Amino acid sequence: MKLIGWNPFNSNEALTMDSTKVSFYKGVPVFRTNSRSGSFYAIFMDREDSFGPYAEDDLRHEYGHSIQLMKLGPVKYGFGIGVPSWLEFTFHGPNDMYTEQPWEITADIFGGVESRYHITSDISKAYWYFSILGML
């Protein structure tokens, strides 16, 4: 919290990723954990993610999930994004096209991830998936 000057609307990714316990990013509380990163009204960011080559993008991606939650509400977010994400991660692992899943691509886009590129057809699929979820 000291690193961001106690400003909950801090938008400096590097400062948030330097925190070891609690911080804020664009109004969303960020708790550092020792397990896989995730988001549900707060960002739970694996401490290990600070040492990756694209640490800022890990935060942007999780913030993208927060935007999905704001747009969809907890039920659609939980069933449409939380559950398939958990299934994919549990049964296929993080390396097996995990970041190319439609719910992961819209998190990248909403969060402004800069280091990952998605092909146009995957982006269309991702928007389609998100719109359908929104209409349910």
Residues in contact with Zn ion by CB under 5 A are 104, 107
Report the C-alpha gap between 9 and 23 in whole angstroms.
10
Question: What minimum distance in Å lies between the beta carbon of 89 and Zn ion?
Answer: 9
Q: Which is nearer to Zn ion, 55 or 107 (CB)?
A: 107
Q: How far is the CB of 1 from Zn ion (least distance, A)?
A: 25
Angle, CA 8 vertex, CA 7 and CA 13 arms, to 5°: 90
Min dist. Cβ of residue 19 to Zn ion (A): 20
Give the count of beta carbons closer than 10 Å to the beta carbon of residue 3: 15
Residue closer to Zn ion by CB (options 57, 104) is 104
* Amino acid making up residue 97: M
Nearer to Zn ion, 2 or 34 (CB): 34
- Look up residue 101 and give its two tokens: 């899943």
